[in-house]
Amino acid sequence: MNQLIYQLQTKLFTGRLNLEARDGPTWTLYFRLGRLIWQAGGSNTDERWRRHLSQYCSNLDVTQLEWLVSPQENYREYCILAKLREQKLIEQQQLVNLITSLIAEVLFDITQYIETKGNNNNSAGHLSHNIVVGEVPGFLLAVISTEEVLKQATQAWQEWRDAGLANYSPNLFPVIQQIELLQGQVSSKQIISLVDGTKTLRGLGQKIGRDVLALTRFLMPFVKAGAIAFSPTPSLRKVGISQENSNPSSTVNNLNSSLKTEENTVIQVAPPAASKQIVSPSSAVNHPKSSLKTEENTVIQVAPPGTNKQIVSPSSAVNNSNYSLKTEENTVLQVAPPAASKAIIDASKPLVACVDDSPTICRSLEEIMTHQGYRFVGIQDSLTAVLKLIKSKPDFIFLDLLMPKVNGYEICSQIRKTPSLKDVPVVILTGKDGIVDRMRAKLVGATDFMGKPVEAEKVLNMLHKYLSV
């Protein structure tokens, strides 16, 4: 691969080099007069883009940049950088460093693929290439040293390989596989709080300010012990950390806080004081003193007749897997959530939708909604968001501003053009509340703004403001 790049450099090539693997991955390298100027393709491209913006443009709010350039624009990310430079929101050296780092990361991934897949004459490791003359951005943002970026990528790969990590991509997502194996470890609290399955090794390293190589070497003993695994896709863990006290050990040590069914589904169980709110829609009447015994010998008390005001329909309880448990006789028991919330989800309650590509945001909102008895639907695919909203018919919509493919402004505009949704309150979720964003949101029909991070008090205040509950 390096030899091919050097040949294109010698020929002062202008155009793109497409590299395609037989089993899926594709990359594109862009040249101008023999110099590498841009990249595309590979794994987690959106994550790579946002991560580099956060690293090299820490003074900017990444969530506010998507509207700078139309989604249909060719070389869109390249054009966004051009806009930032034009408005003097990024220094030229920052721009050079950002582009160099992006290209080096892609070159690292290509090299790793070739060397690991190409072992033992494995034909799957050979990349086919296609050279297209002249197809590049119509302007030049920065002059990148091809020798320097190749050297940077090669050195990073050699250090990664020499550390015995050749078969582990830094694009993998660390996830906690067996949380009990972390108990008693010196760094268990930090690991449990950080490894939530939503960030790649590269992203996690950036978050804690550590080199991805050092971070991965630190995690490897836990991987070999089976406590942590590496996943090619995000995998939000089912057992989370308490957001109230941010104490990573509280969830692990409080063995009464969760119940594991035969299907390995973690279900929140009310503490003993909340047992009066646990009722059965069918068996409670016939067996007032009956109980259900779990695999861990935990007994859930069933309320006697007369306490059935909290009964929820079997269908809604099944759908809300966080707060229901199905017995061997297919009897659905309503289990009180943590903190013994008195609210039970009711089909007559408003349906709240969240359109956000972040599984963490959707999960946070779902917990807030269900604890207050609201129905909830989370939508993470921006391309199909409007169709799903039409189908679900929500009474209230939280809408993320920055999403891949289609941004919040465009979705809001489509919502207002849809007869069945045009009067539904739409609150834009954003990390930065600026006057320009408010004006633009109002133009496309947004009802209000709400800043991130998502907090229960802010969410409920917004709902009460626009919904008659």
Mean pLDDT (the chain) is: 75
Q: Edge to edge, what strands does the sheet with 396-400 contain?
A: 375-379, 351-355, 396-400, 426-430, 448-451
**pLDDT value at residue 314:** 37
**pLDDT value at residue 122:** 52
Q: Give CB contacts under 8 A, 24+ apart, made by 146-153.
A: 146/5, 146/6, 146/9, 146/34, 146/35, 146/36, 148/100, 149/36, 149/100, 149/103, 149/104, 149/107, 150/2, 150/5, 150/107, 152/100, 152/104, 153/103, 153/104, 153/105, 153/107, 153/108, 153/111
**Which residue would you say has higher pLDDT here, 433 or 96?**
96
- Tell me the mean pLDDT in the region 29-47: 92
Enumerate helices (H) and strands (E) in the chain, giving the number of each: 16, 17
Task: Please say whether the dihedral angle defined by the alpha carbons of residues 107, 165, 163 and 188, taken in this order, is positive or negative.
Answer: positive
- Band (pLDDT 50/70/90 cuts) for residue 193 is confident
Best CATH choice for the domain 351-466 from the list 3.40.640.10, 3.40.50.2300, 3.40.50.2000, 3.40.50.300: 3.40.50.2300
State the span(s) of the chain assigned CATH 3.40.50.2300. 351-466
- Tell me the mean pLDDT in the region 306-320: 39
Which whole-number Å values give the CA distances from 260 to 73, 322, 325, 327, 328, in the listed order?
49, 11, 10, 13, 14
Question: 92-117 and 76-86 helices cross at what angle (nearest 10)?
Answer: 160
| Nearest alpha carbon to residue 388 among 398, 376, 399, 379 | 379
Question: 146-162 and 212-225 helices cross at what angle (nearest 10)?
Answer: 30
Q: What is the DSSP letter of 361?
A: H
**Which residue would you say has higher pLDDT here, 162 or 24?**
162
- Tell me the mean pLDDT in the region 154-183: 92
**Which residue would you say has higher pLDDT here, 192 or 24?**
192
- Asked if the model's pLDDT at residue 126 lies above 80, the reply is no
Q: Rounded to 5 degrees, what are φ and ψ at 108?
A: -60, -50
- Band (pLDDT 50/70/90 cuts) for residue 181 is confident
**pLDDT value at residue 354:** 96
- Tell me the mean pLDDT in the region 457-468: 89
